[in-house]
């Protein structure tokens, strides 16, 4: 009897221990959630400045039972404290620690596409976090942002949209930006601004914007002087010129180099830089992917020392998968800067779970062959920028899983050789609190591993259900949903321009007999892309137009493979939902519900993508779906010409069940 009683009690106790106490988390802690506060860590170490270390470098070590952080400057010390904070959460801060760090790139910036009316271009987390229209700057939020950026090693912010409003340079805005810069400086973050080419005309009534006109040059010199008087460590300008309708030096018969160098001259006395974007294309060229090289290669070597050309990772526009931009392999005498897009313009906004660690790892590690084999993209670039996914939402990003992309960007900017898997691991452990009463081992197995699994599979899932095998730009209006049928309007803004589907086949012919884009890459890549035998399958339809019955490595036809990829994407997201069901005990009810709702939306959207793309392409292929895929849900006739209902901010609307609300525009 007694034995039975003890046994029962032990059982009860074990059950109590096995059931973790739910955690109070709402996603606002971000990756600092599971850490000890910064000040507490700082107070527990001996800081020392070591002039032999680079300014942003640190070394953490133990001596005689005490912990030290040596640093090259205050910035290095800050990064050291954050590194220790991370190491503690990861269980890597035990006695005898010896941990050093030094950033790979000197310039590691976020680009905010925030407008002065508080809207955010391609922003999916509410209005601008800077609250431009409010009487006061949002100091508390700016501090929190500074902390988050510093904790992952970022050291610069471009505060406003590259589609810039000239008023950002009026006296009132300069004064406001100076206040923001004063706060950001405390976190080691330099402030930069995007400028509009026509600013001198709007702000001072100058007649033109010719970069060789002495009056225009003087205007910019005076403006630089005014800015530096207010912000002595101002970082410089980011410029979108002669791109998507923005004015620029070409309007005056001058080149990108003439324009960039004029601004560079104005900023040079103060140590400022110009980040000049290479995102250029015009409707007249036969292949948009060719244009950046066509315009910028002839200018190689003509840019001033304080100009960096900012290049998007791929030659078109932040698609779910693109090859790397050929410019990375070709510009030899020009400083280059990577531009990644953290905000998910083409990957389901803040609704879809799409971890970009893998996207960026793929790009950074790709071999450009610029100096023979072993010349990865990350070594070709001198600096790095990411288009931010932040807004006024309490969790900054509109989705806890979107925070992982901000985190991953910062970590890769600090060390581009880190693996996506390691970064995912770090992020999960720092973001999600271990429920009380749960052993670290159990938490690892039951929560950390499955969530990492979701993250690591997520981007490929989006590629599969949106545009597999090298397909790209199948988007409609807001870039949220599919519209492969669209062919009206400017050709290079319509999906039909990119997929080229017809009864014979599908894909963009960029081979030597097509647009010749392959030859913008160095050998042996150029020939590898050109040749069907060696072109990577995941870029097949980026580089080739192929018949529906073309046989792939699997032995299946192209048509069947396309269908299978869409189907695989759907199944993968269904798998994420199923996994998340099992994770309910480990996160707060609110966070669980929200994620469950988003995963449901993602699963429904994935089917919409499949129905639209497979259904539409089937009108050309005329072939049935392979037997083992889920049948289409919505007939193509009721999808063609329709899109998702969006609110005033362009946010997509779904019904209670998570289905996209499809309407006739």
Catalytically active residues, by annotation: 244, 317, 345
Output 347 or 564, the one with its CB closest to ligand GCW.
347
Per-residue x/- mask for ligand GCW, residues 615 to 654, rule CB under 6 A?
----------------------------------------
Pick one of 317, 466, 486, 605: the residue that binds ligand GCW (CB under 6 A).
317
With respect to ligand GCW, which residue has the nearer C-beta, 163 or 619?
163
Applying CB under 6 A, among 50, 163, 375, 478 the residue interacting with ligand GCW is 163
Minimum CB distance to ligand GCW smaller for 160 or for 358: 160
According to the binding rule CB under 6 A, does residue 74 interact with ligand GCW? Answer: no
Is the bond preceding 524 in cis, omega lying within 30 degrees of 0? yes
Using the minimum distance from each CB to ligand GCW, give the nearer residue, 199 or 341.
341
**Cβ at position 122, least distance to ligand GCW in Å:** 5
Number of residues that bind ligand GCW (CB under 6 A): 11
413/118 Cα distance (integer angstroms): 27
**Token duo for residue 452:** 């990492």
Give the torsion sign (CA, 652, 658, 659, 661).
negative
| Residue 159 contacts residue 130 (beta carbons within 8 Å) | yes
Could you give the CA distance from residue 165 to residue 220 in angstroms, rounded to a whole number? 16
Closest distance to ligand GCW from the beta carbon of 244 (Å): 6
Query: What is the rounded CA–CA span in Å between residue 502 and residue 491?
Result: 16
List binders of ligand GCW among 183-222 (CB under 6 A): none
Of 286, 193, 190, nearest to 232 by C-alpha is 190
Which residue in 162, 160, 187 sits closest to 176, CA to CA? 160
State the Cα torsion 392-196-306-333 to the nearest 10°.
110
Contacts of ligand GCW in 93-132 (CB under 6 A) = 113, 121-122
Q: How far is CA 224 from the centre of its chain?
A: 30
Q: Find out whether 518 and 509 touch, Cβ atoms under 8 Å.
A: no
Minimum CB distance to ligand GCW, residue 473 (Å)? 10
CB of 131 closer than 8 Å to CB of 138: yes
Interface with ligand GCW includes 240 (CB under 6 A)? yes
- We find the least distance from the C-beta atom of residue 102 to ligand GCW, in angstroms, to be 31
| Minimum separation from the CB atom of position 160 to ligand GCW (A) | 11
Closest CB 665 distance from ligand GCW, rounded Å: 18
279 near ligand GCW, rule: CB under 6 A:
yes
C-alpha–C-alpha distance, residues 652 and 37, integer Å: 37
Judged by CB under 6 A, the residue of 70, 295, 322, 345 near ligand GCW is 345
Of residues 413 through 432, those in contact with ligand GCW by CB under 6 A are none
478 binds ligand GCW (CB under 6 A): no
Binder among 33, 83, 110, 162 for ligand GCW (CB under 6 A): 162
Output the six-digit token pair for 634: 């919505």
**Residue 173 interacting with ligand GCW (CB under 6 A):** no
Which residues, in sequence order, are CB contacts of 103 under 8 Å at separation 6+?
56, 79, 153, 155, 413, 414, 415
Residue nearest to ligand GCW (CB): 317
Residue 502: phi, psi to the nearest 5? -150, -175
Pick 316 or 525: Cβ nearer ligand GCW:
316
Q: Yes or no: say if 495 and 475 are a contact pair by the CB < 8 Å rule.
A: yes
Task: Provide the 3-class DSSP secondary structure of residue 115.
Answer: coil
End-to-end Cα separation, the chain, in angstroms = 75
Among 130, 318, 543, 586, binds ligand GCW (CB under 6 A): 318
Min dist CB 631 to ligand GCW, Å, is 34
The footprint of ligand GCW (CB under 6 A) covers 113, 121-122, 162-163, 240, 244, 279, 317-318, 345
């Amino acid at each position: 009897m007694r034995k039975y009683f003890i046994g029962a009690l032990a059982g009860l106790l074990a059950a109590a221990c096995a059931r973790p106490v739910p955690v109070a988390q709402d996603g606002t802690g971000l990756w600092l959630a599971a850490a000890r506060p910064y000040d507490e860590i700082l107070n527990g170490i001996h800081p020392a400045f070591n002039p032999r270390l680079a300014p942003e470098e640190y070394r953490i070590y133990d001596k005689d039972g005490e912990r030290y952080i040596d640093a090259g400057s205050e910035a290095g010390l800050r990064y050291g404290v954050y590194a220790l904070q991370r190491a503690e959460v990861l269980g890597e801060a035990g006695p005898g620690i010896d941990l050093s760090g030094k950033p790979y790139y000197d310039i590691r910036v976020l680009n905010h596409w925030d407008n002065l009316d508080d809207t955010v271009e391609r922003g999916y987390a509410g209005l601008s976090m800077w609250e431009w229209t409010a009487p006061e700057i949002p100091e508390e939020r700016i501090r929190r942002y500074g902390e988050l950026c510093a904790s992952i090693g970022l050291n610069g912010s471009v505060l406003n949209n590259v589609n810039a409003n000239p008023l950002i340079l009026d006296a009132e805005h300069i004064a406001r930006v100076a206040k923001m810069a004063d706060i950001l400086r405390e976190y080691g973050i330099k402030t930069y601004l995007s400028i509009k080419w026509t600013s001198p005309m709007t702000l001072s009534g100058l007649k033109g914007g010719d970069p060789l006109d002495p009056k225009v040059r003087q205007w910019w010199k005076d403006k630089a002087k005014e800015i530096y008087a207010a912000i002595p460590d101002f970082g410089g300008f980011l410029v979108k010129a002669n791109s998507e309708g923005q004015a620029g030096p070409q309007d005056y018969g001058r080149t990108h180099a003439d324009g960039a160098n004029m601004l560079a001259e104005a900023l040079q006395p103060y140590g400022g830089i110009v980040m000049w974007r290479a995102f250029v294309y015009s409707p007249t060229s036969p292949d948009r992917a060719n244009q950046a090289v066509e315009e910028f290669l002839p200018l190689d070597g003509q840019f001033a020392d304080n100009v960096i050309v900012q290049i998007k990772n791929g030659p078109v526009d932040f698609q779910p998968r693109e090859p790397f931009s050929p410019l990375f392999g070709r510009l030899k005498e020009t400083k280059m800067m990577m531009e990644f897009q953290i905000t998910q313009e083409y990957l389901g906004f803040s609704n879809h779970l799409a971890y970009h660690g893998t996207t960026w790892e793929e790009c950074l590690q790709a071999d450009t062959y610029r100096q023979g084999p072993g010349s990865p993209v990350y070594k070709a670039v001198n600096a790095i920028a990411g288009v931010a996914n932040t807004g006024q939402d309490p969790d900054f990003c509109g989705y806890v899983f979107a925070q992982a992309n901000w985190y991953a960007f910062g970590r890769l900017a600090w060390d581009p050789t880190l693996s996506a898997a390691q970064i995912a691991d770090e992020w999960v452990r720092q973001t999600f609190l271990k429920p009380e009463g749960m052993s670290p081992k159990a938490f690892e197995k039951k929560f950390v591993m499955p969530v990492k699994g979701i993250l690591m599979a997520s981007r490929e899932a989006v590629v599969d259900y949106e545009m597999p095998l090298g397909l790209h730009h199948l988007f409609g209006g807001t870039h949220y949903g599919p519209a492969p049928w669209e062919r009206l309007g400017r050709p290079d803004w319509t999906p039909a321009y990119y997929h080229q589907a017809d009864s014979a086949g599908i894909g963009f012919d960029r081979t030597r007999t097509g647009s010749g884009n392959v030859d913008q890459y160095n050998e042996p890549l150029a020939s590898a892309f050109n040749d069907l035998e060696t072109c990577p399958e995941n870029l097949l339809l980026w580089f080739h137009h192929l018949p529906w019955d073309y046989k792939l490595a699997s032995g299946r036809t192209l048509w069947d493979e396309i269908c299978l990829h869409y189907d695989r994407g759907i199944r993968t997201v269904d798998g994420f939902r199923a996994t998340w069901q099992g994770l309910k005990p480990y996160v707060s009810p609110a966070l669980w519900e929200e994620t469950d709702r988003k995963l449901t939306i993602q699963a429904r959207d994935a089917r919409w993508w499949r129905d639209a793309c497979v259904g539409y392409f089937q009108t050309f292929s005329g072939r049935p779906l392979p037997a083992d895929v889920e049948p289409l849900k919505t007939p193509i006739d009721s999808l063609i010409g329709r899109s998702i209902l969006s609110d005033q901010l362009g946010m997509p609307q779904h019904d209670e069940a998570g289905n996209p609300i499809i309407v006739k525009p």
